C-alpha cells in the first residue's frame, strides 16, 4: 500500500509539472508573437531595422521583418493582363526594379558578377553623403587624386581637356567634387572624396564593402571609389545589375545626389576662387526624357558601356522605376525601352 501511495504521489507531481511547464511555454509563445507585432516594420513603420536583438528572439523575429520590408510601399506593381515577354537583347545583364518595393519587374542575368566601371561612383557618392555632415567642407587635393587615369576634372575624355584640372594642394568643397564625380564621371574627384573620408582608397573600399554587406548586395566587391579596376586584380572588382539597382533605391533618399545628376553643366571653383573648372553631364537624355530622375554612366574596355537610370511614372509621377543595363552598346535606347515597357505593363495598387 505504501508503494502504491508513493508511486501515485510521484506520478501526480510529474504530471502537474508538465502541465505547468506546457502552459508556461504557450504563454511565452503568445508573448513572443505579441512582442514581434510591435517591432518596427510590422505595422508599416518606415525606419530601417537591422534585427540586432539578442538570443532566440532575433531568430524568431527576422522572418517577420523581412516579409514586411517587401510591403513597405503603399502601392505594389501588378502586371497587367495580356502582357507578353520582354527582352533587352543587346545587354549582357539587365534589370528593371520598382523603387518603392524593390520588386524586380524584369531581369536578365541580374546576379551575374561583372565590372561596372563608373557606375560605382553613385555608391561612392551615397556613402560620402551618409558620412560627411557638411557637404561644403573643403577637401585638399593630393597627388593620388591628380594623377588618376581616364576622365578627370576639366578633361571629359582622356587626353581631351576643356578647362583647368585639379591642382595638388587645391582646396575644393565636397559638394563640388560630388558634382564632378556624378556629372562628368571624374575619377580624380571620386578618389579625392575617398581620401578625404578615410585617408586612402583602400580604407574607403573597405567601407564600401561593409556598406554593401549591410544592403544585402551579395554579388559585389569594390576595389576603388572611381570604378577603375586594379591592374592584375580585375577579377576582384565587380558588382551585378541587381546590386546596382539596390544602391539606386537607397540613394533615392538623398535628393542632393539626383539634383546633381539632373544638372546639364556647371562651374566649380576652389575655396579661394583661384581655380575654376567646367563640368558637363554625360547624361544624353537630359532635356529629352521629361520624367527622368537621373542617370549614371559607366565604361571601361573590360566593362563595356553600362548605364543606371531612374524615371518617374509619366502619368502621375507617384512611382519610380530603376533600370540597369551592363555591357550594352545601345544602352540609351535600351533604357528608354525598359521604362516604356515597365510603366506600360504594370499598374500600382
Contacts of 261 (CB under 8 A, 6+ apart): 182, 183, 281, 283, 293, 294, 295, 296
Per-residue pLDDT at 1: 44
Tell me how far apart the alpha carbons of residues 163 and 180 are, in angstroms, rounded to a whole number.
13
Question: Domains in the chain, please, with CATH?
Answer: 2-68 (no CATH), 93-348 (3.40.710.10)
Reduce the DSSP state of residue 314 to 3 states and report it. coil
Residue of 121, 179, 246, 296 marked active site: 121
Q: Active site includes 345?
A: no
Per-residue pLDDT at 83: 94
Q: Active site includes 185?
A: yes
Residue of 108, 118, 145, 226 marked active site: 118
Helices 201-214 and 187-198, packing angle to 10 deg? 80
Per-residue pLDDT at 260: 98
Instruction: List per-residue pLDDT tens for the chain, 349 residues long.
Output: 444 444 444 444 444 444 444 433 333 333 333 232 332 333 222 222 222 222 222 222 222 222 223 334 578 999 999 999 999 999 999 999 999 999 999 999 999 999 999 999 999 999 999 999 999 999 999 999 999 999 999 988 777 888 899 999 999 999 999 999 999 999 999 999 999 999 999 999 999 999 999 999 999 999 999 999 888 888 999 999 999 999 999 999 999 999 999 999 999 999 999 999 999 999 999 999 989 999 999 999 999 999 999 999 988 888 999 999 999 999 999 999 999 999 999 999 8
Per-residue pLDDT at 119: 98
Residue of 145, 173, 185, 225 marked active site: 185
Tell me how far apart the alpha carbons of residues 175 and 268 are, in angstroms, rounded to a whole number.
9
Grid cell 537621373 is found at 294
Per-residue pLDDT at 160: 85
Q: Supply the pTM of this predicted model.
A: 0.78
Tell me how far apart the alpha carbons of residues 223 and 220 are, in angstroms, rounded to a whole number.
10
Grid cell 538570443 is found at 55
Amino acid at each position: 500500500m505504501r508503494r502504491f501511495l508513493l508511486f501515485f504521489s510521484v506520478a501526480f507531481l510529474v504530471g502537474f509539472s508538465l502541465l505547468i511547464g506546457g502552459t508556461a511555454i504557450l504563454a511565452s509563445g503568445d508573448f513572443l508573437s505579441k512582442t514581434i507585432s510591435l517591432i518596427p516594420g510590422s505595422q508599416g513603420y518606415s525606419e530601417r531595422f537591422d534585427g540586432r536583438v539578442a538570443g532566440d528572439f532575433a531568430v524568431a523575429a527576422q522572418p517577420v521583418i523581412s516579409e514586411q520590408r517587401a510591403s513597405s510601399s503603399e502601392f505594389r506593381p501588378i502586371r497587367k493582363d495580356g502582357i507578353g515577354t520582354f527582352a533587352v537583347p543587346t545587354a549582357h545583364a539587365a534589370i528593371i526594379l520598382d523603387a518603392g518595393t524593390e520588386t524586380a519587374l524584369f531581369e536578365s542575368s541580374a546576379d551575374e558578377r561583372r565590372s561596372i566601371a563608373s557606375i560605382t561612383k553613385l555608391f561612392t557618392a551615397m556613402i560620402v553623403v551618409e558620412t560627411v555632415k557638411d557637404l561644403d567642407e573643403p577637401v585638399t587635393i593630393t597627388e593620388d587624386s591628380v594623377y588618376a587615369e581616364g576622365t578627370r576634372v576639366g578633361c571629359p575624355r582622356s587626353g581631351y581637356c576643356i578647362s583647368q584640372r585639379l591642382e595638388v594642394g587645391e582646396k575644393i568643397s565636397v559638394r563640388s567634387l560630388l558634382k564632378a564625380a556624378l556629372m562628368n564621371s571624374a575619377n580624380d574627384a571620386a578618389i579625392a572624396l575617398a581620401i578625404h573620408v578615410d585617408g586612402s582608397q583602400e580604407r574607403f573600399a573597405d567601407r564600401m564593402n561593409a556598406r554593401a554587406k549591410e544592403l544585402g548586395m551579395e554579388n559585389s566587391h569594390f576595389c576603388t571609389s572611381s570604378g577603375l579596376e586594379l591592374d592584375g586584380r580585375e577579377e576582384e572588382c565587380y558588382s551585378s545589375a541587381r546590386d546596382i539597382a539596390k544602391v539606386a533605391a537607397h540613394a533615392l533618399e538623398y535628393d542632393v545626389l539626383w539634383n546633381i545628376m539632373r544638372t546639364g553643366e556647371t562651374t566649380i571653383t576652389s575655396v579661394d576662387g583661384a581655380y575654376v573648372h567646367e563640368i558637363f553631364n554625360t547624361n544624353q537624355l537630359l532635356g529629352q526624357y521629361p520624367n527622368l530622375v537621373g542617370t549614371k554612366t559607366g565604361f571601361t574596355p573590360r566593362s563595356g558601356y553600362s548605364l543606371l537610370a531612374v524615371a518617374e511614372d509619366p502619368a502621375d509621377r507617384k512611382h519610380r522605376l530603376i533600370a540597369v543595363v551592363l555591357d550594352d552598346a545601345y544602352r540609351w535606347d535600351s533604357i528608354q525601352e525598359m521604362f516604356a515597357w515597365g510603366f506600360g505593363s504594370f499598374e500600382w495598387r
